[in-house]
Amino acid sequence: SYVLTQPPSVSVAPGQTARITCGGNNIGSKSVHWYQQKPGQAPVLVVYDDSDRPSGIPERFSGSNSGNTATLTISRVEAGDEADYYCQVWDSSSDHPGVFGTGTKVTVL
Amino acid sequence: EVQLVESGGGLVQPGGSLRLSCAASGFTFSSYEMNWVRQAPGKGLEWVSYISSSGSTIYYADSVKGRFTISRDNAKNSLYLQMNSLRAEDTAVYYCARDKTGYSSGWYRYFDLWGRGTLVTVSS
């Protein structure tokens, strides 16, 4: 089955840029989606189809995807961005197509 | 208000059964595919199961295949997850999630609406 690998943690100072990677075999050929999850809350979609943002998500959240790595970038990081972030793909070639990344804890210093 | 509300979680012994429900409101439930996603305590998200809008297409994660059954009742705007032969490793918060489909270089799916989840604890 398809595997998505994320770094366990990323630390960033307020106002700086956080980059969260999501590695997978030829992931650039797939559409990648990103979710933010704060403690005790349900996940919230922040980026879909590599780089599109749902309504209500700040422009500070952006995404890219190429080769074997997809990246979620959070610019001008705020304290409220501290959360867990998960990438996700749908592997249509599989009988169990839903795949989430391992998750990354973003800490705002 | 557009929302999903899960129910049916609780404490169950290993080997037991439980049926989760997800009530949808504020949107045309019968037009959407749906999923169950779970999260074990302190762990990451794990996709569990998918069902098409008509119920004709279903997928399961290997970890639950043969033990869990997803179903829906479009007349009642409800999604279900029948869980049998439960194990300690099934302990998790179970979320229902609305599916959104698109096409770029291929078909893709993501989850644009989530419920708040219901906790299932499997323990003796």
pLDDT of B38 reads 98
Taking CB atoms and an 8 Å cutoff, what residues of chain A touch B37? Answer: 43, 98, 100
Taking CB atoms and an 8 Å cutoff, what residues of chain A touch B107? Answer: 90, 92
Q: Do A42 and B114 touch (CB under 8 A)?
A: yes
Residue with tokens 């599109």: A52
CB of B68 less than 8 A from some CB of A: no
The 10s digit of each residue's pLDDT in B46-103 is 999 999 999 999 999 999 999 999 999 999 999 999 999 999 999 999 999 999 999 9
Give the CA distances from residue A57 to residues A46, A81, B50, in Å, rounded to whole numbers and listed in that order.
6, 12, 26
Q: How many CA atoms lie within 13 A of A88 on its CB side?
A: 28
pLDDT of A12 reads 97
The 10s digit of each residue's pLDDT in A43-70 is 999 999 999 999 999 999 999 999 999 9
CB of B62 less than 8 A from some CB of A: yes
Mutate to test the interface with A, among B33, B39, B105, B111 (most CBs of A within 10 A): B111
Mean pLDDT of chain A: 96
